[in-house]
Structure 1
Amino acid sequence: MKIVGQELKRVDAYGKVTGEAKYTADLEPRDILHGKVVHATIANGRVKSFDLTEAMKVPGVVKIVTCFDAPDCQFPTAGHPWSVESKHQDICDRRVLNERVRLYGDDIAAVVAENEVAAAQAARLIKVEYEEYEPIVTVEAAMAEGATPLHPDLRKDNVIVHSHMTMGDSDFTFDKGILAAREMYPGEELIAVEEEYDTPRISHCHIELPVSWAYVDTNGKVTVVCSTQIPHIVRRCTAQALGIPVGQVRIIKPYIGGGFGNKQDVLYEPLNAFLSMSVGGRPVRLEISREETISGTRTRHAIKGKCKGLMTKDGRILARKIDAFANNGAYASHGHAICANCGNVFKDLYRDELGCEVDCWTVYTSSPTAGAMRGYGIPQAVWFAECLTDDLADRIGMDPCEFRLKNCMEEGFVDPANGITFHSYGLKRCIEEGKSYIRWDEKWKQYRNQTGPVRKGVGMAIFCYKTGVHPISLETSSARMVLNQDGSMQLCMGATEIGQGADTVFSQMASETTGISFDKVYIVSTQDTDTTPFDTGAYASRQTYVSGMACKKCGEEFRGKILEYAAYMLNHDLTDLSKTVYADQVKEAAGRLREALGLGADEDVTAEMLDIVDSKVVVSGGDPVLFDVAVVADTAFYSLDRSVHITAEVTNHCKDNTFSSGCCFVEVEVDMPLGLVTVKDIVNVHDSGVLINPKTAAAQVHGGMSMGLGYGLSEELLVDEKTGKTLNNNLLDYKIPTAMDTPELNVRFIQLDDPTGPYGNKSLGEPPAIPVAPAIRNAILNATGVHMNMTPMTAQRLIAKFKEKGLI
């Protein structure tokens, strides 16, 4: 391949570095109105009434709408394709403004004013009378006998879904596995480990806040310009929320300053549309503050995992079990999909000789709503699986690396539940590469039996991750290519650039497939649901795989159309037909082609005899060069005989999937009296197929590793269990890693051609964030002998554990 695989500069680099790139807030018209959401100050209850008297006196206030004015339409918010099967549709449990309060900060009213100050002042002056109920903040409280359902119209209790999965026989249970193991290995000592592992609720902390502005045009169509990962899905959900036809809604997505899954939900776009409609269609902007974003949009699920493992003395895993309990918060959002995904990967990651049992519960609570976040339940799954794996290996004193190599999923693995196959397998090579980098064999033994207050340790964790959502959900994507008069091309993708480099890799793919040189591929970064081909959005690490195949298929058709027209030109005397200035050039090129191929005067040139290389039409095989694609383009547009505007638009309905995999190796220094963990060295090794652009791929890994460091050591969104109020919804108290906390991040790739990827590629966007936290945990175990079962591993938790073990 010529363009795919090159470290080309990002196509959006200049605009983003210079500030010329236009984001949602940059495009607002003058004299726009300002919206401000009024949030509930209770966590569970009902709004009885509002007193708007003082708020309406504020100069500049145009309109105040309350939950009693909002459309009586319940809608889903998850960024999932709509299912034609009603039982698989997302849960419609939300209105644009809610009378029934289910979390502290629920959206109950909104102010529209001439300026932000007036809107904020009026919002503070609104008086609300509530009927208040007891907050139900924890999973335990929500599942307790007699707990009040938060959504009684949808569920008789607070369990959104419970699912049971097995690997092995369909009726396998862990207890049956124990009995079977005793029969299979009579007299042999079997080792059992049972532990509970916790993961926290955390925030995405993307740079650009959720921001949108909306207006109604003269035809009655409501347009929302917004920062979203899923413009086409936002369109559908907005129509559902307002009770209007989908065609009456238009969504425009400019450049976006990060999302990480938070913007894979429909957040405030429907409310903004409603506000504009409420003031006669005037433009209204709605930007949510950092505090509102952290506590009131979406979080990563806090999941508790009760795990069991059974093995032989020589380290063969016989059976495992997990009971996973996900705190979904007040609204369903992505519902059970994330906890089910968590349980599925827990069972896939290792070969249990007898079987694996998984039970997953997703539960409504009166706390911040959880939704999609980078990894979609797999950071939690790998925390559970990799903590348990090290704990099993530790019980028999076995090298954790050796233990994994002995038990991890093998080449050609097929998930029996969904048929997803490990088509290209690099997991064991990744482990060996990571071992070599960190000097594992030397350090793991050296660090096992240290003394003193400051100790070193090495740890590792593996992961697997599918590519896209087939067959669990629909995978569909479209691409459009248009030939410009100068021989360059416009590339229009429904898939969204959200900072991850998608526009660059799609441009490389288009260049690779069509033969148009990379510098002549102009990608349209703005998605507009009125004009952009359909795509479900940026999520599931799907875009280079699913949307990439749409790009490739479209490129093949587009290239074929260019060559078909070039063949027409070479077969006709353009002097008489087209009166084109290129007639003599084409005639001379036709002569050289016929001579090169030995064609007779009565034989036609066909498209199959031609190719495009570096924007030149050439004889297939590369020689001779005939003429520039610009000659074809100019002729096709303006020919007096055969004017053709060369375009292609193709849909890819993807019906395949594959696993990527990899590992993280880390070396830490633990200062036990201070509870301080310093990451001294770290490397992620990834099997992500063929890399479209190695430079952007490495950047993806660096970003994911940084998020993994925060997940492991510092990040946790705290909620008061008595009131349901978020305690640290700001970037002072919510601790994301800074540059000072981040070590040098190292990345290695094992590049294997995956037969299902459009260019041998598979998922990379989310996997880098997955294995870092458990690798750090396992390094702490190697350094101190202490099993940390809860992340983040903060100084307070570490010191408490070290004291409990008598180390300090």
Structure 2
Amino acid sequence: MFEDRYTTTLVQNAQMEPRTCIAAWDADKLTLYTPTQGISNCRTDTARDLGIPPETVHVICHYMGGGFGNKNQNQDADLITAMLAKEAGAPVKLEFTRKDDFIGVHGRWPTIQYYKVGVSRDGTIKAIQLRGYSGMGPYRKNTGAIAGIELYQCPNIESLVYPVYTNKTVSGNFRGPEYPQGFFGIESMMDDVAYKLGMDPVDFVLKNMTRKYRDEMPYTNYSLDDCIRRGAEVFEWKKRWHPQPGSDRGPIKRGAGMAFMAFRSALGRSSAVVRLNTKGQYTLFVGVTDVGPGAKTTMAMIAAEALGVPLSKIEIVSGDTDRCPYSVGESGSRTTIQTGYAVIQAAEALKLQIAEKGLPKGDDVRVGSATPNPTLEGKVRAAFGAHFVEVEVDTQLGRARVLKYLAVHDCGRIMNPLTATSQIKGGATMGIGMALHEDLLYDRRTGQPLTAGFYGARLLTHRDAPEIEVIFIESDDGYGPYGAKSMGESSKVPAVAAVANAVFNAIGRRMRDLPITRDKILGALA
């Protein structure tokens, strides 16, 4: 039986663009220009909160500077701006400072995690118990869940997680909301168990990871073992990992760590409309907003593929509730899967119209629309991945830096290789920052935040970011648009644990409290 305690801190989404909004009323019609990740949800939520019909709210978001879950649905800033504009009888613009954004808009919830793990002598996990506490701030915006245990094959599991109200910044969605902090805890714990049993962590994971969702329901396909084996081979795991942690001579020590993940790729409802005019130009209407990964381009690429026409023939209209149909929104890694599938169905509807009525003539147009809501019966759909990291630690200065990083992912069919690779690199980079740097500190006496902002919270910069190698294993389970799966959040999920495990392998001291800063490393080595 093994037991331990792990903690993670509040990490702010820290998107480039702080929260901002422009609101204008025309009689009873409200127009909001706001950087939202979901115009449809923003419209519905704003109407609900203001007590007005949804059709009287017009939400526009053509451009935005990132979100990472910070800009889901509507936000307090939208409502404040709308009410100020109503009172003033004139358009109002509200823009947060960076400090406002850090303390006034949510971040990832901090956690305290207590684990007990029972293992047989051959390394088979027999029991896992988690008792966790999640800091939610002064009110609830999410569940406060702590993920990770579900990926292990184990006959006896108990998980008790308690959301706790605090007088700190509110917690909410941030790139895999419950996953990176949970995976840091459980995969650090399992790495430690493997070490104490004298097992290679890769062998321990392959022995104990579940091949079913929550060890019960089958996946539509399963490629996690392929990701781990391919990663271990390319990374040269056996050469870089030390069976005896901290065994390098001298003050500069190197070590290797790994972690793995599965992340939801569920099917679901969304809408799309495709219109063809007499000039042979196709116009695609989708309610997506582009938060950075190129959602508009991806939707146009899917439409061109489904229609069998060049990409140059596709014009896209997006980010406007008065012009576009419902979209699930850019959260939960759902846009390509759900709205992309709606685009294919709308294209099929348009082709059927053309087959029945012919091409449009004169002022006519042909229009295909679809609002599919596919479901899975008896199966779970997920993306898989494994990350391998080599770090170097200066034991005299306490400095840890990443030397080599490999991310192997199965995200189904890759639509746009450039943006797909960038997504994986971006998530991994965020995970490195969460592992080694980021922390929003508070003064215990006054309760005031001390490090709000990019520099205070010590976000990762280009100088800190290593080169990240990405390998895709493209499976096709027959679902979604051409087999595409989720991607945007999954790359951050195993990153934190992989870095932490590599630091342990380098110095022989388990770092249980994030972030792994210089003072903590020096304290552990003292």
- The TM-score with structure 1 as length reference comes to 0.63
1:427 corresponds, among 214, 224, 228, to: 224
- Aligned partner of 2:149 in structure 1 is 347
Cα-to-partner distance string for 1:54-77 (whole Å, 9 max, x where unaligned): xxxxxxxxxxxxxxxxxxxxxxxx
Matches within 5 A, 1:308-387: 308-334=116-142, 336=143, 339-340=144-145, 342-343=146-147, 346-352=148-154, 354-387=155-188
Equivalent residue letter for 1:306: Y
Q: Distance in 2 between matches of 1:324 and 1:447?
A: 30
Matched with 1:749 is 472
CA distance in 2, matches of 1:701, 1:506: 19
Structure 2 residue matching 1:241: 3-state secondary structure = helix
Which of 219, 229, 236 is the matching residue for 1:439?
Answer: 236
CA distance in 2, matches of 1:229, 1:327: 24
Structure 2 counterpart of 1:710, which letter?
G
Distance 2:448 2:38 in 1: 29
Question: 2-side partners of 1:262 and 1:295: how far apart?
Answer: 12
After the TM superposition, which residues 559-578 of structure 1 pair with which residues of structure 2 at under 5 Å, given as runs? 559-566=351-358
Q: Deviation string for 1:388-430 (max 9, x for gaps)?
A: 11011011111001111111122xx14478x5x4212111111
SS in structure 1 at match of 2:304: helix
Q: Which residue of 2 aligns with 1:797?
A: 520
**2:115 paired residue among 284, 307, 310:** 307
Tell me if 1:402 matches 2:203: yes
- d(CA) in 2 for partners of 1:779 and 1:508? 39
Using the alignment, how far apart are the partners of 2:254 and 2:343 within structure 1?
A: 48
> For residues 618-629 of structure 1, what are the structure 2 equivalents within 5 Å?
none
Pair 1:208 & 2:17 matched: yes
CA distances 1:157-176 after superposition (whole Å, capped 9, x unpaired): xxxxxxxxxxxxxxxxxxxx
- Give the match's secondary structure for 1:775: helix
Alpha-carbon shift at residue 516 of structure 1 (Å): 2.1
Q: CA deviation at 1:528?
A: 1.6
Instruction: Name the residue aligned to 1:549.
Output: 341
1:424–1:689 Cα contact (<8 Å) kept: no
Contact 2:37-2:291 within 8 A present in 1 as well: yes
| CA pair 780-414 structure 1, distance change in 2 beyond 3 A | closer
Is 1:466 matched up with 2:256? no
How much has 1:637 moved relative to structure 2?
Answer: 3.3
1:480-629 correspondence to structure 2 within 5 Å: 480-525=273-318, 527-566=319-358
Q: For 2:192 and 2:73, how far apart are their aligned partners in 1?
A: 37
SS of the equivalent of 1:499 reads coil
**1:687 equivalenced with 2:488 (yes/no):** no
In structure 2, the residue corresponding to 1:716 is in which secondary structure?
Answer: coil
Query: Aligned-pair distance for 1:322?
Result: 0.8
Tell me how far 1:484 sits from its aligned partner. Answer: 2.6
**Distance (whole Å) between structure 2 residues aligned to residue 483 and residue 722 of structure 1:** 65
Q: Does 1:256 align with 2:64?
A: yes
SS at 1:507 equivalent = helix
Q: 1:369 to 1:454 in 2, by over 3 A?
A: same
- 1:294 partnered with 2:86: no
* Count of paired positions: 521
- Quick check: 2:255–2:504 contact (8 Å CA) kept in 1? yes
Correspondent of 1:654 among 374, 387, 393: 374
Task: Name the residue aligned to 2:462.
Answer: 739
Q: Which runs of 5+ in 2 are unaligned?
A: none
Question: Structure 2 CA distance, aligned partners of 1:416 and 1:310?
Answer: 17
Find runs of 4+ consecutive structure 1 residues off by over 4 angstroms. none
Native 8 Å contact 1:478 1:534 kept in 2: yes
SS in 1 for 2:63: coil
Q: Is the 8 A contact 1:265 1:371 kept in 2?
A: no
The equivalent residue for 1:603 is: none
AA of the residue aligned to 1:246:
P
CA distance in 2, matches of 1:270, 1:446: 56
8 A contact 2:277–2:364 mirrored in 1: no
Measured after TM superposition, the shift of residue 476 of structure 1 is 2.0
CA displacement, residues 752-783 of structure 1 (integer Å, 9 cap, x when unaligned): 11222221111111011111111111111111
Alpha-carbon distance between aligned partners in 2 of 1:467 and 1:241, rounded to the nearest angstrom: 30
Give 1:196's aligned amino acid: R
What does 1:33-44 correspond to in 2, within 5 Å?
none
Query: Is 1:456 aligned to 2:176, yes or no?
Result: no
Q: 1:508 to 1:484 in 2, by over 3 A?
A: same
Matches of 1:454 and 1:317 in 2, distance apart? 35
Match of 1:606 in 2: none
Contact 2:9 2:514 in 1 (8 A): yes
- Relative distance call for 1:390 and 1:430 in structure 2 (3 A) is same
Shift of 1:447: 6.3
Q: State the Cα deviation string for residues 329-367 of structure 1 (Å, max 9, x = none).
A: 012122x1xx33x34xx2321101x22111111122111
Q: List alignment gaps of at least 5 residues for structure 1.
A: 1-191, 567-631, 804-808
Compute the RMSD of aligned alpha carbons. 1.6
**Residue pairs, 1:76-115, within 5 angstroms:** none
> Are 2:137 and 2:169, in contact at CA under 8 Å, matched by a contact in 1?
yes
Kindly state the Cα deviation for residue 565 of structure 1 after the two structures are TM-superposed.
Answer: 2.9
Q: Equivalent pairs: percent with the same residue?
A: 34
SS across alignment from 2:24: strand
User: SS at 1:549's partner residue?
Assistant: helix
Amino acid at match of 2:82: A
Q: Considering only CA atoms, is the larger Rg found in Structure 1 or Structure 2?
A: 1
- Indicate yes or no: 2:361 matched with 1:637: yes
What is the alpha-carbon distance in structure 2 between the residues aligned to residue 266 and residue 365 of structure 1? 23
Q: Secondary structure of the residue that 2:350 maps to in structure 1?
A: helix
Q: Secondary structure at the match of 2:107?
A: coil
Q: Which amino acid aligns with 1:322?
A: L
Alignment partners' CA distance in 2, 1:496 and 1:252: 9
Could you tell me which residue of structure 2 aligns to residue 777 of structure 1?
A: 500
Partner of 1:174: none
Question: Tell me, what secondary structure is at the counterpart of 1:782?
Answer: helix
8 A contact 1:193–1:391 mirrored in 2: no
1: CA distance, partners of 2:228 / 2:396: 33
The aligned amino acid for 2:88 is: V
Q: Which deviations, in whole Å up to 9, do the C-alpha atoms of 1:599-618 show, x marking residues without a partner?
A: xxxxxxxxxxxxxxxxxxxx
Q: Give the AA of the match of 1:467.
A: S
Secondary structure, in 3 states, of the residue corresponding to 1:224? strand
1:512 Cα offset (Å): 1.0
Deviation at 1:564, TM superposition (A): 2.6
One-letter amino acid of the counterpart of residue 402, structure 1: D
3-state DSSP of counterpart to 2:299: helix
Q: Residue 798 and residue 265 in structure 1: after superposition, are their counterparts in 2 closer, same or farther (change >3 A)?
A: farther
Contact 1:234–1:269 under 8 Å retained in 2: no
> Conserved in 1, the CA contact under 8 Å of 2:200 and 2:243?
no
Look up the match of 1:758. 481
